[in-house]
Structure 1
Amino acid sequence: MKMGKILVPICVLLLIEVVLVYGGSGSVHQVNIWPMPKYSIYGNSMLYLSNDFELRTQGSKYSDKEGILKDGFLRFMGIVTLDHVIDVNFSRFDQSSFLKGINVVIRSLSDELHYDIDESYNLTIPAAGKPAYAHIEAKSVYGALHGFQTLSQLCSYNFKTRLIEIDMVPWTISDQPRFPYRGLLIDTARHFLPLPVIKKVIDSMTYAKLNVLHWHIVDSQSFPLEIPSYPKLWDGAYSAEERYTMADAAEIVRYAQRRGVNVLAEIDVPGHAASWGNGYPLLWPSANCREPLDVSNEFTFQVIEGILSDFSKVFKYKFVHLGGDEVDTGCWESTRRVGRWLRRHKMVGSQAYEYFVLRAQKIAVSHGYEVINWEETFNNFGDKLDRRTIVHNWLGGGAAERVTAAGLRCIVSNQDKWYLDHLDITWDQFYMNEPLTNITNPKQQKLVIGGEVCMWGEHIDASDIEQTIWPRAAAAAERLWTSYDKLARNPIQVYRRLANFRCLLNQRDVAAAPLVGPGRFAPEIPGSCYVQ
């Protein structure tokens, strides 16, 4: 009953907005860009893409040796045409109404993707009657890719002319992200995700300008990733088929990098690691007490050393995630051998937990990484953490305020608002979750590097991951990309625009669920995509 009371007014509001925007004479213009750019102005004319719409790079320093820009342009053309057949006689149209192509100017020579890369871009589209080129200017190729994504949302297929049109020209857009870290977590330990599914998730992330794929690769239930230094860890996979080789991991990193997405790898230690002992039982405190990993055994830290050494050859992002959450030290204290070690080192369980986390941090730092740990590490011994640690919030609101007051960096993912597996959390709650709540000091604000929506995999696999992620992740994506002064103060203000983006995702073969309802909600009645 409670759900019905919520759904009906939202559906009515969406229907009213759709009638206003899409019905009647079509004279009402609305900006349908998601996430909303920092600055934009537009006109009231229309252009068509020419049949030989091309990419130019006149004036650009960037050589595109790896083909990142070219591939981005080809993807742009693919999502703009949406497999429609452009089969018309172009000669019967006024040639001054056709846009010939796009000229992209990139100032940087490098195509290296790293944390805090300049992702800004400027996009201009000329007025009708001035047949020329659209123009993107960016500091990096990855800013240019964002420009392609914005341009793609300005294009639509006209069923009357059978052409791709750009409405509301001329356009001038200046854009840049609010936060450098805009993440999405996927979990391949609770359910295995095939490589094509992961790649499709990466593609969908780019549509909403998310830029970090947090890969929670292993956990208590399974260890699907090959570790060449310790090959028996693979014995922890669910089956022989549900595995990734290191070459597979390298391919995911390469695929993501070419699209402007960093891959953050995670091993969650010392808890959440029972699967490690399937191949190496010495990592368990005992056969009946399998996690946390055995703090008393030097072999445990040798294995972590080997994993992070292998990681450093593939996962080139400057950060690695070492977990550190939900550690129950009772297993150590109840195991005689580990208990003797604790007494010999004059430790209780909580002190051994601190010892383990800090030692794992040192190993990661020795391989050139900066470390991300879950919030419990800060809550239990925050003043002992490496000062370069990034604390990953998840338990609830208020963590970022405390973490930044202590001078540490923070990522916001509070589970009551940004956990995608919590199906009762609606898109408007995702949208209104503000990472800088109660943080007014500019120095502290800069320590919040961004946020992340988390797609934990206990009840999600390849069959339902897309509709569980989208469109709610897009709501958070605008919060992380768009400047604060441009964000809606009431989610009603963005219903129509997000509904349009959700339908756009469907058109691009992304199984985004309806807005009306909680996560993974199915349409209740027949009707237009724009009112679901």
Structure 2
Amino acid sequence: MTGFWTTCSVLLLIAWSSRADNAEIPPLSGSPWSWRCEPKGEGLYDICVRILTPENTATPALSHPACRLTCGKFGTLWPKPKSVNLGKQLSYFLPHSISHTFVASEEDTLLLTEAFKNFMKILDTYDSEYLLGKLTWKSPEPIGYHKVNINIHIEGPSKSHLGLDITDEKYALVVTTDLCSQTSTANITAKTFFGARHGLETLAQLIDYEEIEKKLMIVNSADIKDEPAFPYRGLMLDTSRNFITVEAIKRTIDTMSANKLNTFHWHITDSYTFPLALKSLPKMAYYGTYSPRQVYLPEDVKGLVEYARVRGVRVVPELDAPAHVGFGWQWGPQEGLGNLTVCVDQEPWQEFCLQPPCGQLNIANQNIYTILGKIYQEMLDMFGPLDLFHFGGDEVNVHCWNTTEEIVTYMKSKNLSLTDESYYAQWSQFQNRAYDLLTEANGQVKIPGIIWTSHLTEKGHTNRYLNKEKYIIQIWSVKTDPLIKELLDQKYRLIFSNKDAWYLDCGFSAWVGEGLNSCSPYKGWQLVYDNSPKKIALNVSTEVDFSLILGGEAPLWTEQADSLTIDGRFWPRGAALGERLWSDPDHDWRDAEYRMVNHRQRLVKRGVQADRLQPEWCHQNQGRCYRN
């Protein structure tokens, strides 16, 4: 028997090799599986159930994408709208059968034209999973295919830039289908371009690729009225610790727009690098970059700001100070300006900062204000017009200042003690001068400044050191921090970034020493989703003025991330943040899981390297991957 099987195996191997060399294995055609929408249970969402397609049935098989589009109250929409009524039928169409009309101001029409191009590019991605090429056909159109008319009407006066208090992001989307004329019509109405753009994103999510018939399909009726729960919905990216390419930043902004996140907080400088090229201060980047290629030129920044605007995203720059400065500032002495910074790269670093390399501005040297004024002027030219500016302003190490001879001498000359409180007062004076310099650079037009929580916002400090008319406080402590109640009681506006739920760099190996990094454990999408700013406020205060809660932001510090890895750090957890801040749902992550798993698939089709959440089997068998 052994000889027989050996001979047989050899013959089979030869035959298989011959087949591999001389013939292609034909692709699979069709599938034995189809799906139907079934209620999961009382009070729960409907799910798509996979079944074996009955043979000789008159009912056509329903593909998985077709079932998802029409199953449940929200279908595949993410973030879920405030009010929605979706039809259960689908119409099929080809990309070149889409027409559009805009009723808007000249400036808004230009923006809509670019946004519509992006919409059409999204439709081109919908067949990418099936490797069938671009969705193009020659006319005449096959019988049974619909035309799709998209009409966008911006009713209000042009507001071409986002603003906390002036931008209305509401929209209404109505889809109807006339079977006689085989025409589906989508009407989007909004008061601003930004609302209309959100409506286009929602419309894109009512469309998918029909893998069985190789065609696009759209839900044939929908009535959606939608608006965000919070005006500030952000992600923060640190590009100082590791340089992030312009292409990677654009990909991040694209994905933010897919999740209706509207604020890209750019932590562009730190003690590590100053990668921003300035015409008036060229030595900042010369001394402050890892390499001449790893720098953001003014045209890069302006291009990114416009790229983001077309996608409904504002760019908020951060110039962190007076701490988190260092490399890029060393040229002061050779220019006759003295030491602009102190403690730069000082050892042992643990005594002078929280992570290497150290560095803080030299508050004894008045030339720092001349330099700051020039930096603010160029940043406003690159990033403006701005409705917000981030000053950073955390993690000042008093020991650094108090062990620097020049600063100690300065403090004594002003008859100031060398206590922490004295240094906090000097820090507060620095912050207020920085604010005035920004206002001066902005033509005396005041804009709110954002400040991280710090020693200046500790219990009993904020009212003494920071004017609530000027500053918004960004909370990065934990959700149980009693400071939250104090700030709300004192009527400070807040942005939540509590590190116990929304820090996206947590849960990886330590980058200094061994073990896990300092903010571990990893924050899963479920934790991100369930972190509600309003609930946090209600847990610490019985009476809350919710207008003070502007929204939230998930930061990504890049000690262990770069252009190749930020997609997986941001997504799909950033999508969970998007639904929390847009919809502020009253349920937990469990009721969003099916849509989240599907939305991750959608992001991947759009070219995002988003982390996988579950096996594909779970995606195709909703309700089967659960834990009691």
- Scaled by the length of structure 1, the TM-score of the pair is 0.88
Residue of structure 2 equivalent to 1:438: 537
CA distance in structure 2 between the aligned counterparts of 1:287 and 1:442, rounded to whole angstroms: 45
1:228 to 1:385, Cα distance in 2 relative to 1, 3 A = same
1:126 to 1:441, Cα distance in 2 relative to 1, 3 A = farther
CA distance in structure 1 between the aligned counterparts of 2:77 and 2:284, rounded to whole angstroms: 45
Residue of structure 1 equivalent to 2:123: 80
3-state SS, counterpart of residue 247 of structure 2: helix
Residue of structure 1 equivalent to 2:105: 62
Structure 2, unmatched stretches of 5+, are 1-39, 52-60, 126-132, 334-338, 347-357, 508-521
1:175 to 1:441, Cα distance in 2 relative to 1, 3 A = farther
Residue of structure 1 equivalent to 2:155: 107
3-state SS, counterpart of residue 477 of structure 1: helix
Does residue 38 in structure 1 map to residue 119 in structure 2? no
Does residue 359 in structure 1 map to residue 404 in structure 2? no
Residue of structure 2 equivalent to 1:13: none
User: Which amino acid is the alignment partner of residue 438 of structure 1?
Assistant: A
CA distance in structure 2 between the aligned counterparts of 1:443 and 1:20, rounded to whole angstroms: 38
1:231 to 1:89, Cα distance in 2 relative to 1, 3 A = closer
Q: CA deviation at 1:87?
A: 3.5
Q: CA deviation at 1:232?
A: 0.9
Contact kept? 2:325, 2:341, Cα under 8 Å: no
Q: CA deviation at 1:530?
A: 5.9
Contact kept? 1:88, 1:162, Cα under 8 Å: no
Does residue 386 in structure 1 map to residue 467 in structure 2? yes
CA distance in structure 2 between the aligned counterparts of 1:78 and 1:22, rounded to whole angstroms: 31
CA distance in structure 2 between the aligned counterparts of 1:318 and 1:51, rounded to whole angstroms: 38
Q: CA deviation at 1:144?
A: 1.0
CA distance in structure 1 between the aligned counterparts of 2:100 and 2:294, rounded to whole angstroms: 43
3-state SS, counterpart of residue 89 of structure 2: strand
1:134 to 1:118, Cα distance in 2 relative to 1, 3 A = same
Which of 358, 364, 367 is equivalent to 1:299? Answer: 367
Contact kept? 1:400, 1:411, Cα under 8 Å: no
CA distance in structure 2 between the aligned counterparts of 1:46 and 1:509, rounded to whole angstroms: 26
CA distance in structure 2 between the aligned counterparts of 1:510 and 1:329, rounded to whole angstroms: 43
Does residue 285 in structure 1 map to residue 342 in structure 2? yes
Contact kept? 2:344, 2:360, Cα under 8 Å: no
User: Which amino acid is the alignment partner of residue 119 of structure 1?
Assistant: E
Q: CA deviation at 1:236?
A: 0.8
1:526 to 1:288, Cα distance in 2 relative to 1, 3 A = closer
Contact kept? 1:364, 1:370, Cα under 8 Å: no
Residue of structure 2 equivalent to 1:3: none
Q: CA deviation at 1:528?
A: 7.0
CA distance in structure 1 between the aligned counterparts of 2:592 and 2:245, rounded to whole angstroms: 34
Contact kept? 1:55, 1:104, Cα under 8 Å: no
1:407 to 1:318, Cα distance in 2 relative to 1, 3 A = same
Which of 383, 405, 414 is equivalent to 1:336? Answer: 405
3-state SS, counterpart of residue 23 of structure 1: strand
1:109 to 1:526, Cα distance in 2 relative to 1, 3 A = closer
1:51 to 1:237, Cα distance in 2 relative to 1, 3 A = closer
Contact kept? 2:108, 2:160, Cα under 8 Å: no
Q: CA deviation at 1:115?
A: 1.4
Q: What does 1:304-315 align with in structure 2 at a 5 Å threshold?
A: 304-315=372-383
Does residue 375 in structure 1 map to residue 453 in structure 2? yes
User: Which amino acid is the alignment partner of residue 451 of structure 2?
Assistant: N
Deviating more after overlay: 127-136 vs 365-374: 127-136
Q: CA deviation at 1:407?
A: 1.1
Residue of structure 1 equivalent to 2:392: 323
3-state SS, counterpart of residue 202 of structure 2: helix
User: Which amino acid is the alignment partner of residue 137 of structure 1?
Assistant: T
1:442 to 1:77, Cα distance in 2 relative to 1, 3 A = farther
CA distance in structure 2 between the aligned counterparts of 1:45 and 1:526, rounded to whole angstroms: 26
CA distance in structure 2 between the aligned counterparts of 1:44 and 1:286, rounded to whole angstroms: 65
Residue of structure 2 equivalent to 1:139: 191
- Scaled by the length of structure 2, the TM-score of the pair is 0.75
CA distance in structure 1 between the aligned counterparts of 2:329 and 2:160, rounded to whole angstroms: 37
3-state SS, counterpart of residue 202 of structure 1: helix
Larger RCO, structures 1/2 (Cα 8 Å, 6+ apart)? 1
Which of 177, 194, 205 is equivalent to 2:228? Answer: 177
Q: CA deviation at 1:205?
A: 0.6
CA distance in structure 2 between the aligned counterparts of 1:288 and 1:503, rounded to whole angstroms: 44
Does residue 232 in structure 1 map to residue 276 in structure 2? no
* Residues 231-285 of structure 1: CA deviation (Å, up to 9, x unaligned): 2111111111111112211111111112111000001111100123233352123
1:22 to 1:203, Cα distance in 2 relative to 1, 3 A = farther
Residue of structure 2 equivalent to 1:273: 325
Structure 1, unmatched stretches of 5+, are 1-15, 517-524
Residue of structure 2 equivalent to 1:29: 71
Deviating more after overlay: 321-330 vs 349-358: 349-358
3-state SS, counterpart of residue 21 of structure 1: strand
Residue of structure 1 equivalent to 2:524: 426
CA RMSD, 1 decimal? 2.5
* Residues 493-520 of structure 1: CA deviation (Å, up to 9, x unaligned): 111110000000011110110125xxxx
Q: CA deviation at 1:20?
A: 4.5
CA distance in structure 1 between the aligned counterparts of 2:323 and 2:344, rounded to whole angstroms: 15
1:66 to 1:341, Cα distance in 2 relative to 1, 3 A = farther
* Residues 9-44 of structure 1: CA deviation (Å, up to 9, x unaligned): xxxxxxx99994152364671311000000000222
CA distance in structure 2 between the aligned counterparts of 1:91 and 1:248, rounded to whole angstroms: 43
Does residue 241 in structure 1 map to residue 283 in structure 2? no
Contact kept? 1:214, 1:263, Cα under 8 Å: yes
3-state SS, counterpart of residue 209 of structure 1: coil
CA distance in structure 1 between the aligned counterparts of 2:293 and 2:332, rounded to whole angstroms: 20
3-state SS, counterpart of residue 67 of structure 1: helix
Q: CA deviation at 1:142?
A: 1.3
CA distance in structure 1 between the aligned counterparts of 2:409 and 2:141, rounded to whole angstroms: 87
Which of 495, 498, 504 is equivalent to 2:596? Answer: 498
1:21 to 1:89, Cα distance in 2 relative to 1, 3 A = farther
Deviating more after overlay: 464-473 vs 393-402: 393-402
Deviating more after overlay: 364-373 vs 468-477: 364-373
1:342 to 1:51, Cα distance in 2 relative to 1, 3 A = closer
Q: CA deviation at 1:56?
A: 2.9
User: Which amino acid is the alignment partner of residue 334 of structure 1?
Assistant: T
User: Which amino acid is the alignment partner of residue 419 of structure 1?
Assistant: Y
User: Which amino acid is the alignment partner of residue 341 of structure 2?
Assistant: W
1:287 to 1:204, Cα distance in 2 relative to 1, 3 A = closer
CA distance in structure 2 between the aligned counterparts of 1:442 and 1:39, rounded to whole angstroms: 28
CA distance in structure 2 between the aligned counterparts of 1:162 and 1:143, rounded to whole angstroms: 32
Contact kept? 2:324, 2:360, Cα under 8 Å: yes
Q: CA deviation at 1:527?
A: 5.3
Q: CA deviation at 1:227?
A: 2.0
1:472 to 1:323, Cα distance in 2 relative to 1, 3 A = same
Does residue 457 in structure 1 map to residue 558 in structure 2? yes
User: Which amino acid is the alignment partner of residue 193 of structure 1?
Assistant: I
* Residues 329-359 of structure 1: CA deviation (Å, up to 9, x unaligned): 1111111121010112214333322222232
CA distance in structure 2 between the aligned counterparts of 1:458 and 1:288, rounded to whole angstroms: 17
Contact kept? 1:411, 1:451, Cα under 8 Å: yes
Does residue 118 in structure 1 map to residue 118 in structure 2? no
Contact kept? 1:86, 1:163, Cα under 8 Å: no
In the alignment of these two chains, the number of paired residues is 502
Q: Give the % identical residues.
A: 29
CA distance in structure 2 between the aligned counterparts of 1:48 and 1:64, rounded to whole angstroms: 33
3-state SS, counterpart of residue 265 of structure 1: strand
Q: CA deviation at 1:390?
A: 0.3
3-state SS, counterpart of residue 142 of structure 1: helix
Q: CA deviation at 1:319?
A: 1.1
